[in-house]
Structure 1
């Protein structure tokens, strides 16, 4: 399912227009992104938890030339599925 298909599903299930569903979805995605950017976790009980975890700087190799390059430290987003989601998906 891509974003457009998700918007259509939300619109159909909530009896709203595609436009209002797209706005609602974008608001949710922006809220999750802003919260992670501020360093907090997003916990949705029954669904899962989004976390921004630090990844330290490291040395990597350019596969084409073999030269070492430094990869700077950054944050990675991770998602841990909640119990309800795990049970539903694994059936």
Structure 2
């Protein structure tokens, strides 16, 4: 499912226009991104939680040449699915 398909599904489920669904989705994404950018955590009980962690600088190898390279430190976003999401995905 891509973004426009998600907007269509949200509009149909909620009985709102596609424009309203798009605005709601954009607001959700902006708020999650903003919270993570500040180093916060976003938790939706049953669905899952997003958090930010730091990845240390490390040495790596260029797969084409085998030459050693330095990989810079950076922050990465992590998502951990909640129990209800896990149950829904694994339901037979």
Scaled to the shorter chain, the TM-score interval is over 0.9
Deviation at 1:26, TM superposition (A): 0.7
Give runs of aligned pairs for residues 1-91 of structure 1, distance below 5 A: 1-91=1-91
Structure 2 alignment gaps of length 5 or more: none
Relative to the length of structure 1, the TM-score reads 0.95
Counterpart secondary structure, 1:29: helix
CA distance in 1, matches of 2:30, 2:63: 36
Relative to the length of structure 2, the TM-score reads 0.94
Q: Which runs of 4+ in 1 moved over 6 A?
A: none
Deviation at 1:51, TM superposition (A): 1.0
Number of residue pairs aligned between Structure 1 and Structure 2:
91
Deviation at 1:17, TM superposition (A): 0.9
Counterpart secondary structure, 1:52: strand
Counterpart secondary structure, 1:36: helix
Q: Deviations over 1:37-69 (max 9, x none)?
A: 110111111110101111100111111222111
CA distance in 1, matches of 2:66, 2:29: 39
